[in-house]
Amino acid sequence: MKTISENKHSIATKKLWQNPEYRKHMSEAHKGQKVWNKGLKGVQDWSAESRNKVSRALKGRKKPLRTPEHAKKIADAIRGRFRGKNSPTWKGGVTSINQMIRTSVEYKLWRKSVFERDGYQCIWGGKEHGSKLHADHIKKFSDYPEIRFAIDNGRTLCVKCHLRTNTYGNRKG
pLDDT in tens, 68-104: 888 888 887 777 777 777 777 888 877 788 888 888 9
Amino acid at 118: D
Q: Are 90 and 131 in contact (CB under 8 A)?
A: no
Amino acid at 86: N
Specify the long-range contacts of residues 93-96, CB closer than 8 Å, at least 24 apart.
Answer: none
Q: Are 156 and 114 in contact (CB under 8 A)?
A: yes
Q: Cα separation of 121 and 108, whole Å?
A: 17
Report, as an integer, the average pLDDT of 122-126: 89
pLDDT band for position 63 (50/70/90)?
Answer: low
Rounded to 5 degrees, what angle do the CA atoms 135, 136, 142 make? 120
